[in-house]
């Protein structure tokens, strides 16, 4: 058997059925698909007024791996980031500021009672979760209106903001490049929040001269 038999068959350049649109044709340059397309042709009519059958063109063979690669490239038409998701990934910081303010208000009374302070922080956390869930659904709506054909459910936020951001990134990567930056910034903000919280409490009690 010759060496040529073991090599894949090369498809000559020409117009072939468009893998992204079965009713039209796209130009194959011998190696990859191009941006040149043709609209579907109307069937020819015979002298008896009926549509003439179209001949089967055996050369119109398109390697499936190339068709899949082209279809995947055309899907990248959505968006990766919204204003709402940046508010979500910055929550460890703005949530911390709100908690420091609550503790500061109680500290004005001297030694704040533990029960009222815990109740106040608990109520604040409920408000935080309501805001985060709302931001998640707004973010989902913005992704869908921006061209993404699917987006993570906002109910992922009930598990944790990080769970929502990961589920969101997995959906976003189907329609656009990127999507993992909010996960990174959330992690950075979470890492910095304990130190910033300590500085805030020190500032409240006047231990660093602020």
What are 102-161's pLDDT values in tens digits?
Answer: 777 666 666 656 777 677 778 888 998 999 999 999 999 999 999 899 999 999 999 999
Q: Which of 200, 188, 198 is nearest to 90 (CA)?
A: 188
* Arithmetic mean of pLDDT over the chain: 75
φ and ψ at residue 207, rounded to 5 degrees: -90, -10
100 versus 148: the higher-pLDDT residue is: 148
Q: Which of 126, 108, 127, 106 is nearest to 116 (CA)?
A: 106
User: Please, are residues 184 and 113 in contact by the beta-carbon 8 Å criterion?
Assistant: no
Q: Where do the structural domains in the chain lie, given as residue ranges?
A: 3-74, 83-204
d(CA 38, CA 24): 6
Query: What are the distances in angstroms from CA 26 to CA 3, 67, 72?
Result: 31, 11, 16
How would you list the strands of the sheet with 21-28, edge to edge?
A: 14-18, 21-28, 33-38
Place of tokens 């604040």: 124
65 versus 182: the higher-pLDDT residue is: 182
Q: What percent of the chain has pLDDT over 90?
A: 28
pLDDT band at 55 (very low <50, low <70, confident <90, very high): very low
The reported pLDDT for the residue numbered 200 is: 61
As beta bridge partners, residue 16 has 26
User: Please, are residues 164 and 152 in contact by the beta-carbon 8 Å criterion?
Assistant: yes
181 versus 74: the higher-pLDDT residue is: 181
pLDDT band at 86 (very low <50, low <70, confident <90, very high): very high
User: Please, are residues 47 and 66 in contact by the beta-carbon 8 Å criterion?
Assistant: no
φ and ψ at residue 27, rounded to 5 degrees: -80, 125
């Amino acid at each position: 058997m010759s060496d040529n038999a073991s090599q894949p068959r090369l498809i000559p350049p020409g117009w072939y059925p468009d893998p992204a649109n079965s009713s039209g044709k796209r130009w194959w340059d011998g190696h990859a698909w191009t941006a040149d397309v043709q609209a579907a042709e109307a069937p020819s009519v015979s002298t008896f007024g009926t549509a003439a059958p179209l001949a089967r063109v055996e050369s119109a063979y398109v390697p499936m791996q190339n068709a899949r690669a082209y279809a995947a490239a055309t899907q990248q038409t959505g968006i990766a980031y919204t204003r709402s998701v940046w508010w979500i990934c910055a929550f460890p910081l703005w949530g911390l500021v709100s908690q420091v303010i609550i503790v500061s208000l109680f500290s004005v009374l001297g030694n704040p009672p533990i029960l009222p302070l815990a109740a106040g922080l608990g109520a604040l956390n409920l408000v935080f979760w309501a805001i985060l869930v709302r931001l998640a659904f707004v973010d989902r709506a913005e992704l869908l209106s921006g061209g993404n054909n699917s987006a993570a459910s906002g109910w992922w936020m009930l598990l944790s903001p990080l769970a929502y951001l990961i589920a969101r990134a997995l959906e976003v990567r189907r329609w656009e490049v990127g999507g993992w930056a909010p996960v990174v910034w959330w992690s950075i903000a979470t890492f910095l929040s304990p130190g910033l919280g300590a500085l805030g409490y020190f500032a409240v009690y006047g231990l660093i001269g602020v």
